Amino acid sequence: MKRRPLIPLMPVFLLLTWLLLNDSVAPGQVVLGAVFAVLITVAVARLRPLPAWPHRLYVAIGLIWHVFVDIVRSNLAVGRIILGASRRQPTIGFMQIPLDLRDPHGLAMLAVIVTGTPGTVWAGHDAEHNVLTLHVLDLKDEGTWVRTIKDRYERPLMEIFE
């Protein structure tokens, strides 16, 4: 495994955060904050064995837009369900989605997107078969969900991370 040099921005950011939270720039706080900042940076660097090398960052703009729109739509849909504006009962269920995305950073981003969207939860991932288990609050049509996850999220994430 290749060692990466410490990123100097992280300790500086952590030190500034420490000083702001303590509302003091006393020498003791500066020294203590600097020690914590360096120790945390070293610990975090060891927890992350694979470096992320995103490609085609311009694709992320479209992905962010899709995620934003989907979160707004999902908030409205979940609000209607919770407030009882919809006359029909939601079909709650789990579904399996086969994934092509294998990069751990891409999978982590997909988990954040799916779980951050109201009405859906990343319930599990079978790494051996690369299958996502998704819990959906209103599972009308599995095919639509599969297309949404694969086309709107997985494909751009593959372009960015693979």
pLDDT at position 14 is 93
pLDDT at position 85 is 74
pLDDT at position 111 is 95
Q: What is the pLDDT along the chain (162 residues), one digit of tens a residue?
A: 455 554 578 899 999 999 999 999 999 999 999 999 999 988 887 777 677 777 888 899 999 999 999 999 999 989 988 888 777 788 899 999 999 999 998 999 999 999 999 999 999 999 999 999 999 998 888 999 999 999 999 999 999 988
- Which DSSP string corresponds to 127-155? TTTTEEEEEESS-S-HHHHHHIIIIIIIH
pLDDT at position 140 is 85
- Which DSSP string corresponds to 61-95? HHHHHHHHHHHHHHHHHHHHHHHT-SSSPP--EEE
Q: Where are the chain's structural domains?
A: 9-47, 58-161
pLDDT at position 116 is 92
H or E element that contains 42: helix 27-47
pLDDT at position 121 is 93
pLDDT at position 153 is 95
Radius of gyration of the chain (CA): 21
pLDDT at position 4 is 54
- Count of CB atoms situated within 10 Å of the CB of 106: 22
pLDDT at position 158 is 94
Q: Give the residue from 125, 100, 97, 131 showing the smallest Cα distance to 111.
A: 125
